[in-house]
Amino acid sequence: MEAAKGVSRQLMNPTFFLVLIGLVLLSLILASLVNSKVDGVSNEKITIGTGRTGAGASTANEITWSQPKMTVIKSITLVATTAAAVATGDIGYKVGTTTGGVDVVAAATDGILDGGTVVPVGATYNLALVGTVASDPAPAANPSFTAVKRTLYFGITHTTTASDQGYYKWLVEYQAV
């Protein structure tokens, strides 16, 4: 009977309740972190950097980004943050696992500008990711997925001299798997 009274008094102690609530919240937070992250990543949307149209004709411009292990890229968007002006020609993009590579996003040599002269600020492009072929008897892994941390190369290409190079932000959305 005395033990029951001691437990009853302890349960009525406000400090006991605060500690108990703190422990419950801490365990929920830790469980959430363990269940939703791989290598510190859950579902991320990031700006990886600024690319630009190269100064000379056919001068490619690439930036790199390290994709975390056990993640898959869900989307890549390219946004013009300053205007680009060129003599009539094409401006495009590509994304790969090697410099000049095209295995994550196939080269679209006129994906930004096709025979034109100006790319306005705010022009936005949702890039088509290369994926696993459906109904393939021997499917390959999706190039947007990586089991190990790796470097990706994001390139802006063009076929003519830029009088105003123009800058672009690469936006990447990826998720841990």
pLDDT for 129 beyond 50: yes
Domain shared by 48 and 107, yes or no: yes
CATH assignment of the domain containing 112:
2.60.120
User: What is the dihedral sign for C-alpha 77, 128, 97, 45?
Assistant: positive
What number is the average pLDDT over the span 135-139? 83
Could you report how far apart the first and last alpha carbons of the chain are, in Å?
Answer: 53
Segment 71-116, tens digit of pLDDT: 999 999 999 998 988 888 888 999 999 998 999 999 999 999 999 9
Domain shared by 123 and 161, yes or no: yes
Segment 11-26, tens digit of pLDDT: 566 666 556 565 555 5
Domain shared by 117 and 67, yes or no: yes
Domain shared by 6 and 77, yes or no: no
pLDDT of residue 36: 44
Domain shared by 133 and 49, yes or no: yes
Domain shared by 89 and 64, yes or no: yes
Domain shared by 150 and 64, yes or no: yes
Please give the full DSSP string across 131-162, using - where no structure is assigned: -PPTT-SSPPPPTTEESS-EEEEEEEEESS-E
- Contact 81/170 with Cβ under 8 angstroms? no
Q: How many CB atoms lie within 10 A of CB 123?
A: 17
Domain shared by 161 and 111, yes or no: yes
Domain shared by 149 and 74, yes or no: yes
Domain residue limits at 167: 43-176
Q: How many CB atoms lie within 10 A of CB 31?
A: 10
**What is the pTM for the complete model shown?**
0.72
Number of structural domains the chain divides into:
2
Domain shared by 32 and 74, yes or no: no
Classify burial at 146, counting beta carbons within 10 Å of its beta carbon; exposed 0-12, middle 13-18, buried 19 or more: buried
Domain shared by 15 and 90, yes or no: no
Domain shared by 76 and 143, yes or no: yes
